[in-house]
Amino acid sequence: MKDIIVVIGTGSIGQAIARRVSAGKHVLLADLKQENAEAAAKVLSEAGFEVSTCIVDVSSRTSVQALIQTATQLGQIGGVIHAAGVSPSQASPEVILKVDLYGTAVILEEFGQVIRSGGSCIVISSQSGHRLPALTQDEDRILATTPAEELLQQPMLQPDVIRDSLHAYQISKRGNSLRVMAEAVRWGKRGARVNTISPGIIITPLTKDELTGPRGEGYRNMLKLSPAGRAGTPDEVAALGALLMGPEGTFITGSDFLMDGGVTAAYWFGELAPISVSK
């Protein structure tokens, strides 16, 4: 039976990882917009990959279940690359929580029931989850283990607690890494693995727009004062993704990998530290 790699969110990072791990396999590209999936499919198919496309809305469990049905009709699901999401500059706090937090929980719950033994998943999170101060043990457990359908009802996620879109994004990304850690236990019972990558500023078409947009000066300063002194590339994220999904990463599961060129290090302990943090 054909091994299927499901790519959810067909942007530069999802495509780059898929190119590293999908030789000889069937790639199912799923995106909220059909035109995005088809554009990615053209690139990958011209590079020699066997590709299909599908529409998915990760904030809808029914839509995710339909994606899984499509995938299982093609073969057995051996890999999942979850790279879908919205940014604080794109959406309201409510939409961010629904897509990035709830949507990721649904992806992990649903694919955790069908992933084959030996399969693996990468969730693309963000450096922003590492900027959030420590949560309480109870808050960590809520984000990690609350069933997806009850998650957004939790008091810590209500509008009077979530300050703005950035706060919603940080909570969501912290929640992603915690959820992956918890789900790794359940996925392990199927002989499968799941990990998170938390990239910093990675050069994509959207990033280029943001670097020249209203918040561009802040982003450029962030890169300038980081230890690496530059942005990352999708291929660098893909190199780590290939390690985690491949045979050399079989002892790694439930882990979160921050790769941001040291921006977070500079935020907590360097020149990017806010006054309240540096003191």
Name the residue range of residue 104's domain: 3-204+233-263
Tell me, yes or no, whether 217 lies in a domain.
Answer: no
Tell me, yes or no, whether 278 lies in a domain.
Answer: no
Q: Which pLDDT belongs to residue 275? A: 60
CATH number of the domain that 52 lies in? 3.40.50.720
Question: For 69-115, how does the pLDDT look when each residue is reduced to its tens digit (9 = 90+)?
Answer: 999 999 999 999 999 999 888 899 999 999 999 999 999 999 999 99
CA distance 228 to 272: 13
Tell me, yes or no, whether 198 lies in a domain.
Answer: yes
pLDDT grade, residue 278 (50/70/90)?
Answer: very low
pLDDT grade, residue 38 (50/70/90)?
Answer: very high
Tell me, yes or no, whether 271 lies in a domain.
Answer: no
Q: Which pLDDT belongs to residue 279? A: 42
Q: What torsion, rounded to 10 degrees, do the Cα atoms 119, 111, 131, 170 define?
A: 160
Q: Inform me whether the pLDDT recorded for 68 exceeds 70.
A: yes
Q: Taking all residues of the chain, what is their mean pLDDT, rounded to a whole number?
A: 95
Tell me, yes or no, whether 57 lies in a domain.
Answer: yes
Beta bridge partners of 8: 30, 82
Token couple for 190: 């199927």
Between strands 50-55 and 26-31, the pairing is: parallel
**Residue 169 among the catalytic residues:** yes
Q: Which pLDDT belongs to residue 46? A: 97
Tell me, yes or no, whether 149 lies in a domain.
Answer: yes
Please tell me which residue in 102, 169, 208, 279 is annotated as part of the active site.
Answer: 169
Q: Inform me whether the pLDDT recorded for 217 exceeds 90.
A: no
* Number of domains into which the chain is organized: 1
Sheet of 50-55: strand order equals: 50-55, 26-31, 3-8, 76-82, 120-124, 193-199, 256-259
Please tell me which residue in 98, 102, 173, 267 is annotated as part of the active site.
Answer: 173
CA distance 192 to 179: 15
Tell me, yes or no, whether 225 lies in a domain.
Answer: no
Helix or strand run (H / E) with residue 180: helix 165-188
**Residue 102 among the catalytic residues:** no
Tell me, yes or no, whether 185 lies in a domain.
Answer: yes
Which residue from 9, 43, 3 is spatially nearest to 27, judged by alpha carbons? 3
pTM metric for this prediction = 0.95
